[in-house]
């Protein structure tokens, strides 16, 4: 099942404007999730990988960044193909995930990553995430994590 739910051209905290690819479905089900409409895996999604690639291409001249969000991108089969596609075009890539461990191929093709589930009782006013257990990193040389706050 294709679970690319939407692509969008929107403001981004890193580079001003990013092409954003949203994925439907997340099994974490954190209390107080910021995108509850994106949790259900059975929601019908009409966009294809080809559509998402077209969006990346369409905005590539002015958007240097592609953001992958959800839902949980790491639970979508289409995510890695699109990540590699964006990286091959020399774009900056950002993953917003609720997980704390990611596959090596993902880390090697990312420039930034937000990790960790949202924990309501740890909610706070942070720049890149919603609860104090979460972290936002820049990835240097494909493997070194440098915290950004």
Of the candidate residues 65, 70, 109, 115, the single one contacting ligand SF4 (CB under 6 A): 70
Alpha-carbon gap, residue 18 to 6, rounded angstroms: 13
Bridge partners (DSSP) listed for residue 4: 23
Q: Please tell me whether residue 43 binds ligand SF4 under the rule CB under 6 A.
A: no
Of the candidate residues 4, 18, 21, 33, the single one contacting ligand SF4 (CB under 6 A): 33
Cα angle for residues 45, 29, 102 (degrees, 5° grid): 80
Q: Please tell me whether residue 102 binds ligand SF4 under the rule CB under 6 A.
A: no
Of the candidate residues 35, 43, 133, 138, the single one contacting ligand SF4 (CB under 6 A): 35
Of the candidate residues 95, 117, 136, 137, the single one contacting ligand SF4 (CB under 6 A): 117
Q: Sort residue 141 into left (φ over 0), alpha (ψ -120 to 50) or beta.
A: left
Q: What tokens appear for 75 in the block?
A: 């639970």
Binding site for ligand SF4 (CB under 6 A): 26, 28-30, 33-35, 39, 70-72, 98, 117-118
């Amino acid at each position: 099942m294709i679970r690319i739910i939407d692509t969008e051209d929107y403001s981004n905290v890193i580079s001003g404007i990013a092409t954003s690819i949203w994925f439907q479905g997340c099994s974490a089900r954190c209390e107080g999730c910021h995108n509850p409409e994106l949790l259900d895996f059975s929601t019908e999604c009409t966009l294809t990988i080809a559509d998402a690639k077209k969006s990346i291409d369409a905005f590539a001249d002015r958007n240097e960044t592609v953001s992958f969000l959800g839902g949980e991108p790491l639970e979508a089969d289409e995510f890695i193909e699109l990540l590699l596609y964006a990286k091959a075009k020399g774009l900056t890539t950002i993953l917003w995930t609720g997980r704390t461990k990611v596959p090596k191929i993902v880390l090697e093709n990312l420039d930034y990553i937000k990790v960790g589930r949202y924990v309501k009782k740890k909610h706070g006013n942070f720049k890149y995430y919603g609860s104090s257990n979460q972290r936002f990193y820049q990835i240097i040389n494909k493997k070194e994590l440098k915290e950004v706050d």
